[in-house]
Amino acid sequence: MGIKHVLSISDFSADEIFGEILTRCEEKVTFVERRIPREPDPTKKVQLLFLEPSTRTRGSNVEAAQLLGYRTDEVIGKEASSFIKKETFANTARMFAKYNAGIIIARAGVEGAQKFMAELLEREGYHCAVHNAGDRTNQHPTQTILDLLTLKRHLGRVDDFTIGFFGDLKYGRTVHSLLCALSYQESVKVKVVQTSETALQAQYIEMFPGRIETVDSLEGLEGCDVAYGSRLQEERFKIDQLTLDNLRKKLMITPAMMKILGSVLFMHPMPYVQEFPFQVRSDKRIIIDDQAWCGVPVRVALQEMSFENLGMTNFFPYSPEENLSVIENCSLKNYRKSRQGREKKFGVYFNPIDNGTVIDKIPAELGLKVKSFLLSSDQLKNSAPIHHIDRIFETSLEGGKEVLILRDNFVSEETKMLVTSWAPTITFNEIREDRFLKIRAKKLVEVQGFGRCPNKNCITNNDPEAATKFVHVGDALRCWYCEKKFERSQIV
Ligand code: NCD
């Protein structure tokens, strides 16, 4: 499968990141070193949209596009665009695509904005890729690829090393993206310098079971192969001056600290503020200039790949077929036979209809909600009433279960996914033409259009066209757009 959009590192497989993409980036190094642009190709246009400040990401993308012979247009800052007049991401994406952009490279202060634009363009049939150049505190996937290229060039490998993170691990998107990629490499060990103001969230720590260590100061990074810094993202959190000054001191790579850390290489996405004082700036172990340069070959490779795959449409990893599994499929007769023992024992229902759906294992008190959703969604073709069985205790469900019987009615895949998002225990027993099918959600389910994402910076709370969408991760739900993890109770 080719690479078209670059939205989140977690959309890619390990093979794609460390194989296909990284190899392509390495191949582009000499092309960029030669500095000879290709013949202009006016049919290819790259649209940059930077609603948050940038020097490197924007500059290296423009350089990459121009080396490749593509046309570029840049919209920089909200003030310079109709965003200041409350234009939406949806309409901005449509306009850029209409004006022949093959790639939109966007940086935004709204999490998931790029993923939303990419989906919308797919749905509406535009041949336009989207690259996420940073969505607030969430992801910065192209930075991660250039970080990996830097590691490859300086360590000679992208596995079997120890990397220490310091700085703003809570809000630094480059840290989050890089951790997502490194979590694939079992031989990579991670250390994090945690401070109460900037601590890395649990969802990233959980990605490294048994191979992440938290330390409370820079000295703790001794023995690492690489130390990766991140600027305190002052614009994202309120902090008093004294605490800020203390944090800065704590996270500064002084000449004395360089001595303690010995052969550790230092990386940083830049800009840095106090992290590297001028006395250490030119030390060979600080490889940030080459790291920033790697942005050019990486963006050459990624832009080229996107243009090669503009015709691709199916980038969404989770479809109903993948979300729902048929866990039983037999003749109705056999099914009923197998249930007879249970029936006798408990004296309660077993699927009493010959055609239709029995929605089973609904946790107590959710039955009415499911019922009213089904009635309002006007997908029930038959006017037969929904029969609601309240509370059956003979079940493995703690607190009892409820059952809905839909005679002569079947519900859509989307509804099944939505309903199982409220409770993954729910099963759909479909009975038709003497066959019995039991359908249940797989572990990973995409559910659309319910609840609200609790994150106010998520695109679903910032664009009227962006519907909510969550993916199951164990018992929790992860927002499809901002990628933050929530407990079910925070959403439903
Ligand atoms: C960073 C970013 O914008 O995420 N820089 C970059 O893109 N190279 C880091 C930052 O702003 O601190």
pLDDT digits (tens, 9 = 90+) for 211-237: 999 999 999 999 999 999 999 999 998
Instruction: Report the separation in Å between the CA atom of 270 and the middle of ligand 1, taken as the mean of its atom positions.
Output: 6
Instruction: Report the separation in Å between the CA atom of 52 and the middle of ligand 1, taken as the mean of its atom positions.
Output: 10
pLDDT band at residue 350 under the 50/70/90 scheme: low
Residue 117 tokens, joined: 């634009």
pLDDT at 318: 45
Task: Please identify which residue in the block is written with the tokens 């649209």.
Answer: 47
Atom of ligand 1 nearest to the CA of 173: 4
Instruction: Report the separation in Å between the CA atom of 391 and the middle of ligand 1, taken as the mean of its atom positions.
Output: 54
Q: Which of 294, 305, 322 is nearest to 5 (CA)?
A: 305
333 or 180, which is more confident: 180
What percent of the chain shows pLDDT beyond 90? 68
Instruction: Report the separation in Å between the CA atom of 163 and the middle of ligand 1, taken as the mean of its atom positions.
Output: 19
pLDDT at 341: 72
Instruction: Report the separation in Å between the CA atom of 292 and the middle of ligand 1, taken as the mean of its atom positions.
Output: 11
Residues lining ligand 1, judged by CB closer than 6 Å?
A: 56-57, 134, 140, 143, 173-174, 231, 233, 269-270
Q: What is the DSSP letter of 52?
A: S
Residue 94 tokens, joined: 């449509």
The phi, psi pair for 77, rounded to 5°, reads 85, 140
Sign of CA dihedral 422, 424, 426, 431: positive
Question: What is the residue-averaged pLDDT of the chain?
Answer: 90
Atom of ligand 1 nearest to the CA of 56: 8
pLDDT at 63: 98
Q: Using an 8 Å Cβ cutoff, are 293 and 58 in contact?
A: no
Most confident among 140-154, 410-424, 467-481 (mean pLDDT): 140-154
d(CA 58, CA 62): 6
Atom of ligand 1 nearest to the CA of 133: 7
Atom of ligand 1 nearest to the CA of 292: 8
Span of 17-21, 125-129, 346-350 with lowest mean pLDDT: 346-350
d(CA 360, CA 335): 15
pLDDT at 223: 97
Atom of ligand 1 nearest to the CA of 57: 7
Instruction: Report the separation in Å between the CA atom of 231 and the middle of ligand 1, taken as the mean of its atom positions.
Output: 8
**DSSP β-bridge partners for residue 331:** 435
Residue nearest to atom 11 of ligand 1 (CA): 271
Instruction: Report the separation in Å between the CA atom of 335 and the middle of ligand 1, taken as the mean of its atom positions.
Output: 59
Span of 137-141, 368-372, 437-441 with lowest mean pLDDT: 437-441
Using one digit for the tens of pLDDT, what is the confidence trace for 275-328?
A: 999 999 999 999 999 999 999 999 999 999 999 999 877 555 444 555 677 888
Atom of ligand 1 nearest to the CA of 231: 12
Q: From the CB of residue 19, how many other CB atoms can be counted at a distance below 10 Å?
A: 11
As a whole number, mean pLDDT of residues 110-124 equals: 93
**Substitution site in 105, 147, 174 for ligand 1 pocket (most atoms within 8 Å of beta carbon):** 174
Q: Is the pLDDT of residue 437 over 80?
A: yes
d(CA 68, CA 37): 6
CA 312 vs CA 5, 101, 118, 130: distances in Å: 10, 16, 12, 13
Q: Is the pLDDT of residue 19 over 80?
A: yes
Residue nearest to atom 12 of ligand 1 (CA): 231
Instruction: Report the separation in Å between the CA atom of 107 and the middle of ligand 1, taken as the mean of its atom positions.
Output: 10
State if pTM tops 0.85: no
pLDDT band at residue 382 under the 50/70/90 scheme: confident
Atom of ligand 1 nearest to the CA of 230: 12
- Characterize the bridge pairing of strands 324-331 and 435-441: antiparallel
d(CA 476, CA 483): 12
Instruction: Report the separation in Å between the CA atom of 177 and the middle of ligand 1, taken as the mean of its atom positions.
Output: 12
**DSSP β-bridge partners for residue 60:** none
Residue nearest to atom 7 of ligand 1 (CA): 57
**Substitution site in 6, 60, 61, 143 for ligand 1 pocket (most atoms within 8 Å of beta carbon):** 143
Q: Is the pLDDT of residue 76 over 60?
A: yes
Q: Is the pLDDT of residue 347 over 80?
A: no
pLDDT at 24: 98
